[in-house]
Amino acid sequence: MSLRSNVLHKKMTYLMLGVTASSAIFLSACNDTSSTQVNTEVADLSVFAGCYTVSPDEPAQIRVSEQDGAWVMQMKEPATAKRVWDNPEALEVIENSEIPQFFSIDPDNVDAVIGRPDRVLVLAHVKPAYANIDPLLDSEYLSYIYRGANTIYRVECDDINTDILANPHANIIIDNVNESS
């Protein structure tokens, strides 16, 4: 091997080592998990403790509370039930990644989500700063109740039965819009 080819061989070796090292550094930077850490922060579910209704001037219809270390919900009963609230139903924390299934809001603007295991009821608490600037929100609370989402209102809890049958809205009949006349 000549001196010239030996020098060329060393230079090529150094070049290849440099390219390999640069590629390794570049690829390891792309695989940096520090920016994709899982949020292990536990949501403060105490924001849900209280009673809710669909209109701020109506009596409470749903109560959320912590009982024996677990979060539960209860619905108001009619006077014929001889009690104000029904049996507690379990609630569980819902991951923010599931928010788009229930609400059309950026999950970054929500600080806590809780719902029934069957997802018939899901409640979300919108960050107060966001609720104050979004003209479509007039409450910090969102509810998803069996395929429909809307704002709900936190109201004072009361021990007055609600007579659902006396509610004029209960008599509304919704025709199937897909049926032809």
Residue spans of the domains in the chain: they are 3-28, 45-159
Token pair listed for 59: 């009596």
One-letter amino acid identity for 172?
I
Give the pLDDT mean for 23-30.
Answer: 42
29, 33, 34, 36 alpha-carbon torsion, rounded to 10°: 120
Token pair listed for 178: 């897909």
Express each pLDDT in 30-45 by its tens digit: 444 433 333 445 678 9
pLDDT for res 100 = 94
pLDDT for res 1 = 54
155, 158, 164, 169 alpha-carbon torsion, rounded to 10°: -30
CB-based contact 80:123 (threshold 8 Å)? no
pTM (two decimals)? 0.66
Where do we find the tokens 């919900």? 73
CB-based contact 107:99 (threshold 8 Å)? yes
Rounded Cα–Cα distance for residues 21 and 26 (Å): 9
pLDDT, averaged across the chain:
76
Helix (H) or strand (E) holding 114: strand 110-115
Q: Please, what is the Cα angle at 147 between 144 and 151, to 5 degrees?
A: 30
Give the pLDDT mean for 116-144.
Answer: 92
Nearest to 76 by CA among 51, 56, 95, 97: 51
